[in-house]
Amino acid sequence: MEGERNENGWNYHVQFYEECGQTGRDLLQAALRNFLNTLYEASTGESPVDNRVAIVGYGMGASYINTNGNRQEVYPDPGDTANATPVDGAETLAENAWCNVTQLQEGSIDTWVNGVHAEGATPTHLGIKAAELAFDNAPETVDENRAKVMILFTDGTPGANYNNYGPGSVQYPDWVTPGIESAKKMKDDGVTIYSVGEYPKVCVNLQTDVR
Structure confidence by residue, pLDDT tens digits, 39-79: 888 887 777 777 899 999 998 899 999 999 899 999 999 88
Contacts of residues 29-32 at CB distance under 8 Å and 24 or more positions apart, as own/partner, are: 29/113, 29/114, 29/116, 31/153, 31/196, 32/113, 32/116, 32/153
> What is the predicted pLDDT for the residue at 29?
87
Chunked mean pLDDT (size 10), the chain, 211 residues: 39 49 76 88 78 91 92 91 90 94 83 83 93 94 81 85 81 91 96 82 47 44
> What is the predicted pLDDT for the residue at 7?
46
Residue 108 makes CB contacts below 8 A (sequence gap 6+) with 67
> What is the predicted pLDDT for the residue at 175?
92
The β-bridge partners of 154 are: 197
* Count of positions (residues) in the chain: 211
**Separation CA 14–CA 4 (nearest Å):** 8
> What is the predicted pLDDT for the residue at 10?
41
> What is the predicted pLDDT for the residue at 209?
46
**Separation CA 52–CA 62 (nearest Å):** 20
**Separation CA 194–CA 113 (nearest Å):** 19
